[in-house]
């Protein structure tokens, strides 16, 4: 167990920075710098195995815009010598770049005190030094003046005494990268604590916003946080708190051909030191852990075939989890690309810095507030829905606990420094100054029902001032908007009408219901149909669903998308996926509303709700086995139609019980296409930043590679497991004296191999099920969740197996599950 502890922790260090340039080499390829010798710009030391080089480089010089007023300076650094993408793994003078005019006078050499120094010979000033003398009391003049610097094959730069004692090493002074053999932890005797710090931007190695290190209180906790706010630890890991992560992570490393045998983790805690470390038995491989400028920690592996770095593991998965990753007055959406946007009426403080990955400056107001400190202020408040509330709220002391939202707003308006407020469950909170970490509900790792009201100048919202001085211009704008909207709707309806039946191929499973086309609704009509959006059916990642009834008494479900930018993305995704297709196992899109900034989608109403309410909730209807089996076949048919029968392959990307709706006859219909990706038949993969729901994600999601329709197959396999058991795949099991996490797929495949699948079935069925059908479903599920996507069946094959017209062999145990089984056994025995 201890061997895996390190890995996740040193997952904590840092990312590849970008393509950078380095001057041509003109000097020695020796790995040693001896006293009396110097390394100038253009020279480099090369490790004995040829893997690493030390020299001076200028980051991102080839990527600097010609409009830039400043160019990056030069730095002493170590990088991978044989890889054509210059990747620094250690930088010395991070805060003191060498200016171009000083290059010729700058050298690296051993000082008379034995320190390694970067010296400007023209001014005799020290740009950077190792400061050995101050740290070692036993260093004599003899040993220091005879010391030498060696670049080892591990990428570690060391200063050795004549007796080979290590006086200093770069592994004890990390920047943003941890190489194999580097320790992440602290020395209990000397107090040395190795803390990694991200770069400022992709072209600036200076000290950035994020840091990572080992907590020194004996908790084995690795902490990643924002440097400016020590208390803001946004991600941490301890092997004691994440037992299910360890086997999953180990299995991911073993099953990936690029990482198998490359990473061997280790954890050490003795009287002198506590640290995590990993080694790489394959000396020919190239790997590193990094902390990037956005605060994510990543494990990177060099792909010789692709001649590129590939990120195979990321934490946190949702970039918006990093504290203040987008800077002040921004909204972060993890499922968007780019993820950071300025709030309404704000603009990027430094667009150039944003382009280079440095968003610490965030956004600034376009129009100053009317801050006169009294309630006559003409400022207005703009709502931002479904976001996490900013850091540092203040509760108002001078208003009663039962204050209304209007009183909360007035209290904020009367204070010049108040920039936002929220009103939730009769609680009023306000914020003064900059707003940090406002993150959109993105259905990845961030969920929130809160609404934040940000304070803006009334001039940015002319309609709020009641200004009627320009009625003619206003009328022209309104008329143009109405005409433009009408033409847009007419074109969309024509496209939908013309392509409705030509876009997807004919299928025997297609619905026979008469199609009346997709209707363009007015917002006012949908307001009346939903009784002003009062009967809430539920909430998804991008909006809220309300029950409604049309004029012909047809029951509908109206999804109101929230957030202008992200709502627009989901609106387009769902209309493009559902507007042109019809199938009995896909929820029917009745219509939509695209009026101003309002985006609504109207679906047929499914009176029996979603599958999860019947599988997991105590007050839900217990589905008999026959119904469950037909649901499994119906969902498989719907996915097969999306993948194989449409003109364009549609990948749903978020198959889970919550997105399977049931009509009055419990016929399943796949819903919520907000993450769907459409790919042409000439292509087999699509690259997307969207990720579905944890617990249903295929392993390849973590690699960052382009996905295929097989991600839906994997998710469907996980849903089948839950249909069999009637419970979540991962659940806490209470045993005598302790709790542990039980993972149902591990149990399922073991019982399948043993021939005892009947023990897997939901006990609420009281033995009333078809054993043949349960074995068939379990067999299909275990094939669907294979690690390698090539081993998974297509959804068409799944349908044929479930219908009994095709047989599958016994599936092998996925390596991911095998590793989890072994690791869980280790945990249980401890």
Provide the annotated binding site for ATP: 559
CA distances from 329 to 347, 349, 373, 470, 772 (A): 9, 10, 22, 32, 59
Among 187, 184, 178, which residue's Cα sits nearest to residue 155? 178
Alpha-carbon torsion angle 697, 700, 702, 703, nearest 10 = -170
**What is the token pair recorded at 558?**
């109206």
- With tokens 């998710």, the residue in question is 715
How many of the other CB atoms lie within 10 Å of CB of 462?
11
Beta strand extents in 152-202 (DSSP E only): 157-160, 166-169, 177-178, 184-187, 196-201
In the set 176, 441, 654, 787, the catalytic residue is 654
CA distances from 794 to 221, 717, 789, 797 (A): 42, 12, 10, 5
Dist CA 290 CA 83 (whole Å) = 17
**What is the token pair recorded at 295?**
């605060």
How many of the other CB atoms lie within 10 Å of CB of 322?
28
Q: Is 552 assigned a catalytic role?
A: no
Element of type H or E holding 631:
helix 625-640
Phi, psi at residue 479, to the nearest 5°? -60, -45
Dist CA 663 CA 608 (whole Å) = 6
CA distances from 689 to 14, 133, 638, 704 (A): 20, 50, 24, 8
Q: Is the peptide bond before 270 cis (omega within 30 degrees of 0)?
A: no
**What is the token pair recorded at 792?**
């998974």
Burial 223-248, CB ≥16 within 10 A → b, else e: bbbbeebeebebbbbebeeebbbbbb
Instruction: Write the burial class of residue 432 (CB in 10 Å: 0-12 exposed, 13-18 middle, 19+ buried).
Output: middle
Report the catalytic residues.
654
């Amino acid at each position: 167990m201890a061997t895996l502890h390190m890995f996740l922790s040193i997952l904590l260090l840092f990312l590849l920075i970008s393509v950078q340039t380095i001057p041509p080499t003109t000097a020695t390829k020796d790995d040693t710098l001896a006293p009396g010798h110097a390394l100038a710009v253009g020279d480099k030391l090369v490790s004995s195995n040829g893997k690493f080089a030390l020299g001076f480089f200028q980051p991102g010089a080839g990527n600097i815009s010609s409009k830039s007023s400043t160019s990056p300076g030069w730095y002493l650094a170590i990088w991978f010598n044989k890889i054509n993408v210059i990747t620094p793994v250690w930088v010395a003078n991070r805060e003191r770049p060498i200016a171009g005019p000083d290059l010729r006078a700058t050298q690296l050499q051993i000082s008379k005190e034995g320190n390694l120094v970067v010296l400007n010979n023209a001014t005799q000033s020290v740009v950077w030094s190792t400061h050995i003398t101050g740290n070692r009391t036993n260093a004599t003049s003899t040993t220091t003046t005879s010391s030498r610097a060696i670049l080892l094959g591990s990428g570690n730069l060391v200063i050795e005494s004549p007796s080979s004692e290590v006086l200093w090493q770069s592994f004890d002074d990390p920047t943003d990268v941890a190489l194999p053999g580097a320790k992440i932890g602290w020395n209990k005797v000397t107090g040395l604590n190795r803390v990694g710090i991200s770069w400022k931007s992709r072209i600036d190695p200076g000290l950035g916003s994020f840091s990572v290190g080992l907590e020194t209180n004996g908790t084995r906790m690795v902490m990643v946080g924002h440097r400016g706010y020590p208390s803001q630890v946004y991600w941490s890991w301890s092997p004691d708190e994440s037992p299910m992560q360890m086997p999953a992570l180990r299995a991911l490393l073993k099953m990936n051909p690029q990482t198998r045998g490359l990473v061997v983790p280790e954890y050490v805690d003795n009287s002198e030191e506590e640290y995590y470390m990993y080694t790489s038995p394959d000396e020919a491989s190239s790997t590193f852990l990094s902390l990037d400028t956005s605060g994510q920690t990543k494990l990177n592996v060099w792909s010789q075939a692709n001649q590129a770095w590939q990120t195979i593991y990321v934490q946190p998965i949702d970039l918006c989890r990093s504290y203040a990753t987008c800077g002040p007055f921004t909204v972060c959406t993890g499922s968007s690309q780019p993820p950071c946007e300025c709030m309404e009426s704000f603009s990027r403080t430094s667009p150039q810095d944003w382009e280079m990955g440095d968003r610490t400056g965030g956004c600034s107001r376009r129009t100053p507030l009317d801050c006169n400190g009294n309630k006559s202020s003409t400022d207005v408040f703009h709502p931002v829905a479904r976001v996490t509330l900013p850091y540092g709220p203040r509760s108002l002391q001078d208003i009663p606990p039962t204050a209304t939202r209007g009183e909360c707003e007035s209290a904020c308006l009367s204070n010049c420094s108040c920039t936002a407020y929220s009103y939730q469950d009769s609680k009023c909170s306000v914020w003064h100054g900059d707003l940090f970490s406002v993150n959109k509900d993105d259905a990845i790792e961030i969920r929130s029902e809160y609404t934040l009201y940000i304070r803006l100048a009334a001039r940015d919202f002319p309609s709020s001032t009641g200004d009627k001085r320009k009625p003619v211009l206003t009328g022209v704008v309104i008329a143009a908007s109405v005409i433009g909207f009408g033409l847009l709707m007419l074109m969309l309806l024509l496209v939908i009408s013309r392509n409705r039946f030509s876009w997807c191929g004919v299928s025997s499973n297609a619905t026979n219901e008469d199609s009346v086309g997709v209707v363009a609704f007015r917002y006012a009509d949908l307001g009346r149909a939903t009784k002003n959006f009062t009967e809430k059916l539920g909430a998804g990642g991008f909006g809220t669903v309300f029950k409604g009834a049309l004029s012909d008494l047809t029951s509908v479900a109206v999804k109101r998308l929230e957030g202008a930018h992200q709502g627009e993305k989901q609106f387009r995704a769902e209309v493009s996926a559902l507007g042109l297709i019809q199938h009995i196992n896909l929820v029917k899109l009745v219509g939509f509303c695209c009026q101003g900034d309002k985006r609504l989608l109207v679906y047929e109403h499914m009176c029996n709700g979603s599958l999860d309410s019947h599988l997991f909730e105590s007050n839900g209807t217990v589905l008999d086995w026959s119904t469950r089996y037909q649901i499994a076949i119906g969902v498989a048919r719907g996915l097969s139609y999306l993948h194989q029968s449409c003109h364009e392959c549609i990948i749903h990307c978020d198959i889970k019980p919550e997105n399977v709706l049931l009509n009055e006859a419990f016929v399943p219909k796949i819903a919520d296409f907000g993450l769907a990706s459409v790919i042409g038949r000439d292509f087999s993969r699509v690259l997307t930043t969207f990720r579905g729901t944890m617990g249903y994600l295929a392993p390849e999601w973590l690699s960052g590679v382009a996905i295929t329709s097989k991600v839906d197959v994997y998710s469907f396999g996980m849903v089948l497991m839950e249909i069999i058991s009637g419970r979540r795949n991962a659940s806490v099991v209470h045993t005598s004296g302790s709790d542990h996490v039980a993972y149902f797929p591990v149990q399922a495949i073991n019982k399948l191999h043993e021939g005892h699948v009947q023990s897997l079935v939901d006990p609420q069925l009281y033995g009333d099920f078809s054993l043949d059908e349960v074995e068939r479903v379990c067999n299909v599920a275990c094939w669907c969740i294979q690690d390698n996507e090539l081993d998974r069946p297509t959804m068409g094959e799944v349908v044929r197996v479930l219908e009994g017209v095709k047989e599958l062999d016994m599936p092998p145990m996925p390596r991911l599950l095998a590793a989890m089984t072994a690791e869980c056994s280790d945990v249980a025995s401890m």
